[in-house]
Amino acid sequence: MIKTYVAFDLETTGLSEENDQIIEIGAVKVQEGKVTDRFMQFLRPDEPISPAITYITGITNEMVANARNTETVVQEFVQFCDGYMMLGHNIMFDYKFMKRYAGKYGLPFEREGLDTLKIARKIHKDLKSKSLESLCSYYEIINEAAHRAYHDALATAKIYHMMAHYYEEKYPAAFAPEPLLYKPKKVQPATEKQKNFLQALILCHNLDVQADYDHLTRSEASKIIDGIILKHGNLKR
């Protein structure tokens, strides 16, 4: 059993790592089988969190309103994970988001990892569902706040420990870490024209929109601009 790793989970505004954004990072650092550190941070997205996402996660726009600078949080998380294997449930979903964010700020994030969902599909063919909730129920693990990043990360670590304890000897290959491979599409930075137009829209409609203009991509700028025009209208002439 691997006893030293970082288990992590993200909450996001949607399912696309290219078009949606991270709103919460949660992680636990495990050393020699014991939790030695934790990471919990909100990130403020460029657009309001939808009611559907708030319903699923419990995270509101008010909760992320005073989140720290996104680049700083991402830098701290990458440093938190430095030198550790990553553990997650459906890990590639979270890793793709994190890899894209790290790349946006010029940070390397090459890791090996283990996926508890992938392990469960190998050893628990008897279970109809291999969701985090179902596995917590099967192993009688209490997840105090499901769909919140830190608590899901902690639950993932507990599930891994239980599965490894009972099944690693029988299925050693299922518990072998693998490189996490994902190459984000090359992004184009927002044009000066887009930045100027976005700033003009925000000023015109007196909006509280805080865009990271230094790292804003062309697609992100277009998405924010379209959202503002749809909700508030174009520039007033």
Active-site annotation, residues: 147
The rounded distance, in Å, linking the Cα atoms of 229 and 237 is: 14
- Residue (of 105, 110, 107) closest to 95 by Cα position: 110
What tokens does 32 get?
Answer: 């020699």
Burial of 134: CB neighbours in 10 Å, binned 0-12, 13-18, 19+: middle
